[in-house]
Amino acid sequence: MKIKYSFCLAIIISLFACKKETQKEIEVTCSDIQAVNPVGNLMYNSSTNTYTYKVGNGINIIISNFQTITITNDSISGFRLDFWGSVMDSINNIERMDASHENLNGKHIKDRLSTVRTLILPDSTKFTFYAAVDSFYNSPLISLSIFHKNECHRFNLKCNKLIYSMDTSASVANSIDSLEVDGEAGTIEFKEDSILFVNIYNETIPNNKIFNRVPLGLTLKSNITNVIDYYDDIRYPHTFQPILNPKKDE
């Protein structure tokens, strides 16, 4: 049984491991890829084409029609953290999600800083999405993974399909997770009277985390729409706080 389990684990891990650049890609079309049904805390609404992962404590990860990724909290009305944006796939002539923009309660805080973005939620649920490697931002997403305890879920975002969903083995989930880098990793801290969106580390080599705490945005629970923007994204002057010498409307 141990040998059989190890063999199955090796097969599963190989599905998630990155291919070496020297290996030839086997051409696979989206019609060749079989979608699977969600299990565990991942649910699907076919009428809206929406996947929702129930994190716990009222927190949800919502993938809406493969256009946006949103974090909500059922106990905090009006709270949402959105990863949104799309780019044109010129080959297939369709819009594809790139989720490069990061909004806290409607306020654009920043864009992602690399091809890999991770958010770790208060109960240690982690979701990571990966963009095409030919651009650091504003490039289409190719996959998204969710890990928590004995659960592991994987979306192919080239084809907008759930290709793997498992809720039976923490060791398998941890093994798969350990093979993938987290890139730019952040979290949401729900404090007694406020909510803080913050980056906590960067990981470009598996299991080599460079910790650096960078506050991104904060909002008070008593005034959820009043967002303090801590991060100045030089690509977007409107994310500067405060804005120096603002131009008057002409």
**Whole-number average pLDDT of the chain:** 87
Position 225, amino acid = T
Place of tokens 């404090």: 191
Structure confidence at residue 12 (pLDDT) = 55
Structure confidence at residue 247 (pLDDT) = 43
> Tokens representing 118?
């991770």
Structure confidence at residue 235 (pLDDT) = 86
SS (H, E, C) 175-221: HHHHCCCCEEEEEEEECCCEEEEEEEEEEEECCEEEEEEEEEEEEEC
* Contact predicate 150/137, CB 8 Å: no
pLDDT at 164 over 50: yes
Q: Where are the alpha helices (DSSP H) in 32-163?
A: none
17-49 pLDDT, tens digit each = 444 444 444 567 888 999 999 999 999 999 999
- 10 band by pLDDT with thresholds 50, 70 and 90: low
Work out the percent of the chain whose per-residue pLDDT is above 70: 83
* Contact predicate 153/84, CB 8 Å: no
Q: What's 15's DSSP letter?
A: H
Cα separation, 181 vs 198, in Å, equals 18
Cα separation, 115 vs 138, in Å, equals 9
User: Strand 161-166 to strand 151-156: parallel, antiparallel, or no bridges (unpaired)?
Assistant: antiparallel
177-202 pLDDT, tens digit each = 999 999 999 999 999 999 999 999 99
Of 59, 55, 49, which Cα lies nearest the Cα of 97?
49
Position 199, amino acid = N
77-127 pLDDT, tens digit each = 999 999 999 988 777 778 899 999 999 999 999 999 989 999 999 999 999
Structure confidence at residue 7 (pLDDT) = 44
Q: Which residues contact 223 (CB under 8 A, 6 or more apart)?
A: none
Residue 238 CB neighbour total at 10 angstroms: 10
Q: Where are the domains of the chain?
A: 34-237
Structure confidence at residue 97 (pLDDT) = 94
